Amino acid sequence: MSDTTSHEPAQAEAAHRTSRAGRPDRVTVAVYAADPVLRVGIVHQLRQRPEVDLVDDADAERAEVSLVVVDTVGDDVVALLHRLRHNNATRTGLVIGTLGAGALQRVIECGVAAVLRRAEAEQDRLLSLVLAIANGEGVLPGDLLGKLLSHVGNLQRSVLDPGGLSLSTLTTREADMLRLVSEGLDTAEIARKTSYSERTVKNVLHEIITRLQLRNRAHAVGYALRNGLI
């Protein structure tokens, strides 16, 4: 091995040797970036690595790995990712500036196999990303994985129980009144304790029951207690 590869991370080098046995030694990579400055930066770093064979635009569709380099995810990026997803010859990685949980789920649904923040896209990290994608692996920063799991969990709860009662769906006043109902207070007692009129108390509790599609106050209290909300 020449001196130019002596600084390759041992783990990436081992993965490269193991999974690519019997195949060409270099991973063909196409770089997609609307911003020419972003493209030049990524291309410059990868071009220095003998493990990577950067292809020109004419051969981009045949690249093993497609790297999409962007600031944020917009409709144009999603359209590109959808197009790449239908190309069976390539697997896609995303190098991005900022990415929220909702956008993360969106790009994964578009077939993105790996994500790397642009701020972390130094040469060795880029190489590891490319080799992982070529080896069929998925790569996702730990904090983004946590956000994705949380986001998916929220979506599942919304689908399974769209009328689900949670403190985030109640105002402070609504939560306080529902807790007082759970303690056995009637409308007049709740009004005195909260300094609201009895009419306001009735309207607030009616709004909770109607919005969350419950039957009555007892149903609302029981639901909240079963879910550990009060």
Residue pLDDT, tens place only, 26-67: 999 999 998 999 999 999 999 999 999 999 888 999 999 999
How much is the mean pLDDT over the chain? 78
E strand or H helix at 228: none
Q: Within 10 Å of residue 169's Cβ, how many Cβ atoms?
A: 14
Residue with tokens 């999409």: 68
- Report residue 47 as tokens: 């071009």
pTM of the model: 0.54
pLDDT of 146 strictly over 60 = no
Chain-centroid distance, C-alpha 147: 6
Name the band, by pLDDT with cuts 50, 70 and 90, for residue 124.
very high
Q: Please tell me the distance from the alpha carbon of residue 33 to that of residue 155, in angstroms, as a whole number.
A: 31
E strand or H helix at 105: helix 101-109
E strand or H helix at 157: helix 142-160
Q: Quick one: average pLDDT of 188-216? A: 88
Residue of 97, 87, 36, 38 lying closest to 63 (CA atoms): 87
Residue of 29, 76, 78, 77 lying closest to 49 (CA atoms): 29
Measured between alpha carbons, how far apart are the two ends of the chain, in Å? 65
pLDDT of 177 strictly over 70 = yes
Name the band, by pLDDT with cuts 50, 70 and 90, for residue 220.
confident
